Structure 1
Amino acid sequence: MLVLTRKLKEAIQIGDDIEVKILAVDGDQIKLGIDAPRNIEIHRKEVYLDIQKENHEAARKVSLEGLRGYIKRDQT
């Protein structure tokens, strides 16, 4: 893990397309601004983990037999 120290209004660059800037510091909270291409999904970690959990649960509910039936119906 890379650990950086940044002051207010300073930024870090990730690759060519992503910039993370410190916008405000208020007590123990930091406000970040993230400038990235629209095709890059950005989520808070807890939201990302919820999405991954829901995707995993949905994938478990899909059976191969159900998919085969759908593919056969779609081809007719």
Structure 2
Amino acid sequence: MLILSRKLNESLIVGENIEIKVIKIEDGKVKLGISAPKDINIYRKELYDIIVKENMKASTADIEYDKLSSLFNINKK
């Protein structure tokens, strides 16, 4: 993990087209501004973890459905 220190209004660049800037520091919280192309998804880590977990559950459900449907000769609609 790379660890960097930044002060208010300082930035860092990720790749060639993502900028992360410190906008505000107050009461132990840091507000960041992120400039990135629209085709790049940006999520808070806790939400990303939920998305990954739900996607895994959904893909497992499809596998289970496929197993059951083959046992009972059920065709997907």
After TM superposition, the score normalised by the length of structure 2 is 0.82
Q: What is the aligned partner in structure 2 of residue 60 from structure 1? A: 60
Offset of residue 64 of structure 1: 3.1
**Structure 1 unaligned runs (5+)?**
none
Q: What is the aligned partner in structure 1 of residue 16 from structure 2? A: 16
- Give runs of ≥4 in structure 1 deviating > 6 Å: none
Distance, in Å, in 1 between the alignment partners of 2:38 and 2:24 is 23
Distance, in Å, in 1 between the alignment partners of 2:14 and 2:27 is 26
Offset of residue 27 of structure 1: 1.6
What do residues 27-68 of structure 1 show as CA deviations (whole Å, max 9, x unaligned)?
2100000000011110000000000010000001113365xx
Matched, 1:45 2:45: yes
**Structure 2 unaligned runs (5+)?**
70-74
After TM superposition, the score normalised by the length of structure 1 is 0.83
Distance, in Å, in 2 between the alignment partners of 1:8 and 1:27 is 14
- Aligned-pair identity in percent equals 41
Aligned CA RMSD, in angstroms, stands at 1.6
